[in-house]
Structure 1
Amino acid sequence: MARKAFRIIPPRKSPKAAKQLLSYDWPGNVRELQNVVEYAVALATENRIDVDDLPEELRTTIPKPQISGKILSLEEVERNYILTVLEKVGGNKTKAAEALGIGIATLYRKLNSYNS
């Protein structure tokens, strides 16, 4: 009796799922990666792996920041971030301080130091 070979088309990964897989630190070995892929394939719908198909520890992993170009000091990163948040809230310093989780006096002190 001849056996028929089944062609299984592996599901594609969404860009977000691929990014999560690439940003995970993979503290285990190759077996951990294999288990995660098998888990995701089992949960995938419509032949596509999405972030929701990944195990919880991968879904909640914060991607590592990517450095491109010049390496900035922590002070420069903080300054850029604060100014970007301030711009995002339309210049409202109270909202910016709330979003940043700092007091309004701290925000004013930092902004004044940027003008020095």
Structure 2
Amino acid sequence: MTAPTWSPVDESTADLLSLVADTNHPSADWEWRAFVGVLSATASLHGGRLDQNDYREQLRGVVAPRRIGAFVNKAKAERLIAETDEWSVSADTTGRNAGRPMRVYRWIGDAA
């Protein structure tokens, strides 16, 4: 019998797998609610515009870094946020994302 060969997964898949793997973890739901609360508050301060530079620091230490991307995808799926044609450049030096392009979203949660 041959042992299975494991291959690495891309970053998006890893984020989703991390989120799914922790569904029974008591903090996953709490982190999701905190994430949505931060998005809603940020949108209120910025006219509905969600630039990750405006909210990422509030998530640090509250939401596991690997969950943030998965939570963004979940927020899109639940129609809380929508993509815009606008892009921003990350200023996140702590997470080593500085200089990378990132999409800007629009909050639609209260309209849904």
What is the TM-score with the length of structure 1 in the denominator? 0.24
More relative contact order, 1 or 2 (CA 8 Å, 6+ apart)? 2
Decide which structure has greater helix share: 1
TM normalised by structure 2 equals 0.24
Q: Rg: which structure is higher?
A: 1
Structure number having the greater strand percentage: 2
